[in-house]
Structure 1
Amino acid sequence: MKIGIIGAGQIGGTLTRMLSGLGHEVRVANSRDPETLAELAAETGATAVWAADAATHADVVIVSIPQKNVPDLDAGIVAKAKPGAPVIETNNYYPQQRDGRIAAIEDGTPESVWVAEQLGSPVVKVFNGIWWKHLLERGVPAGTAGRIALPIAGEDGPGKQLVFELVDQLGFDPVDGGTLEESWRQQPGTPVYGKDYGVEDTKKALAEAPRERPEDFRAA
């Protein structure tokens, strides 16, 4: 598949390595000149591009940048993908640690719903709660004991199913995290966040998530 990745940090860079290694055609961008990604491109075989071009004709788009920077992306940046291509977002809202106050999220809008509104496109939330090193190193074939499960929230349909298949290819068990409106169940501070649970424990943690945002993940 053709996969466009906007963001080359810990998660974006890791997914560039892994997806290129699986044989996908990856175009990766950061907020700067493509030349700044020359080393990553040489290592992985991915193509470094300007952010405005990353999603062009992509089968899947991944947005993996700090939450506070999402509004700075060019309008329609993900609309250049193929019709129906899912847009994955891996972001988390860290108001005290990085992002500052985002009023809509503080008022109760789930993080990923806010991202979708900024992008003007539906999104699928996944990869936000796994440590990048575990994402890089702990993927294993389906059926392997102890395989880590990853919750996936978004609208049901072919796009979400494609994300399920991609997560499985990467070596993790996909777990349906519900609609995007329910994506708060996997936000920072919830029982599933940062855990390397299997399928059943992931489902249990999602079900037990409290609706109220923890104090550490609210604006001070």
Structure 2
Amino acid sequence: MKIGILGSGLMGAKLGQLWARCGHDVTFAYSRSRSKLERLAQAAGASYGSVADAVENSDALLLAVHWSRVNDVLAQAGDLSGAVVLNCCVPLDPTNTDLVVGIQSSGAEELAAMRPQARWVSCFNTVPSEAFMPVFSQKERTPRPQVLVYGDDAGAKEVAGLLIRDIGFDPLEAGPLRTARFAEPFAMVTAELAYSQPGGPALTYRFEKLRG
């Protein structure tokens, strides 16, 4: 699968590297430092370039930028008509302290309104990036930890599910895109558990329905 990574911070860099290790054709894009993109690409055996390069002929895109950069990266990406876009952004203020959208709307819904012809699906934003490598290294173990997946496009969810399983997680169907109104605040809970509570940031979760 040809995957464009729009944003090369903690989330984009780690997921892009892991997908490249799974054999996907990855292109890193959108960083303040072109040399950082080059280093990421060389380390992963991937490519790097402009946002337009990453978008062109992609089977899926990962949007992984700070909320303050969303308008800029989307302007460079174009209308994204028909593109499958995995969104892992949380709509945080510049200090990463408070959500700036919710709960009558959500960051995911705002993005979909900005590019209505794209095929949006949200995932990964409720799992700290520090968990990706440990989960990937133990991907054959069961049961697997989960990643919430929510969106209105069934086909985009299928693509996201494949890429989630490649990393070593199971996708957990969490309904339509409006679920983001509640999942994005949940991301703040996982951040609190990962970064402010004892035990380290490599946090995962798995929900189980009890029967009988």
Alignment equivalent of 1:93, drawn from 91, 94, 113: 91
CA drift at 1:150: 0.4
Structure 1 gap ranges (5+): 204-220
Which runs of structure 2 are paired with 1:193-204 in the superposition (5 Å)? 193-194=190-191, 196-200=204-208
Secondary structure of the corresponding residue to residue 86 of structure 2: strand
What does the per-residue CA deviation read over 1:190-213, in whole Å, with 9 as the maximum and x for residues that have no partner?
697455221427x9xxxxxxxxxx
Q: What is aligned with 1:116? A: 112
SS at match of 1:200: coil
Contact 1:6 1:30 in 2 (8 A): yes
Which residue identity lines up with residue 60 of structure 1 in the other structure? A
Structure 2 CA distance for aligned equivalents of residues 198 and 137 of structure 1: 15
State the 1:99 CA deviation: 8.3
Could you tell which deviates more after superposition, 131-140 or 18-27?
A: 131-140
Q: Paired residue for 2:130? A: 133
In the alignment, the residues of structure 2 paired with residue 68 and residue 41 of structure 1 have an alpha-carbon distance, to the nearest angstrom, of 25
> Structure 1's 122 and 76: CA in aligned 2 closer, same or farther, altered over 3 A?
farther
User: TM-score normalized by structure 2?
Assistant: 0.81
For structure 2, the residue ranges without an aligned partner over 5 or more in a row are 192-202
Runs of 4 or more above 6 Å deviation: none
Whether 1:177 and 2:208 are equivalent positions in the alignment is no
Residue identity opposite 2:127 in structure 1: I
Read off the aligned partner of 1:72 and give its amino acid letter: D
Aligned-partner residue type, residue 57 of structure 1: N
Aligned-residue CA RMSD (Å): 2.7
Report the Cα distance in structure 1 between the residues aligned to 2:127 and 2:156, rounded to whole angstroms. Answer: 21
Q: Tell me the distance in 2 between the aligned counterparts of 1:183 and 1:46.
A: 31
CA contact (8 A) 1:77 1:119 kept: no
Sequence identity (%) = 25
Relative to the length of structure 1, the TM-score reads 0.78
2:195 is matched with: none
Give the whole-Å Cα distance in 1 for the aligned partners of 2:150 and 2:99. 24
Measure, in 2, the Cα distance between the counterparts of 1:155 and 1:73. Answer: 23
Structure 1 residues 146-183: Cα deviation after superposition (integer angstroms, max 9, x where no partner): 52100001114222111112111210011011100112
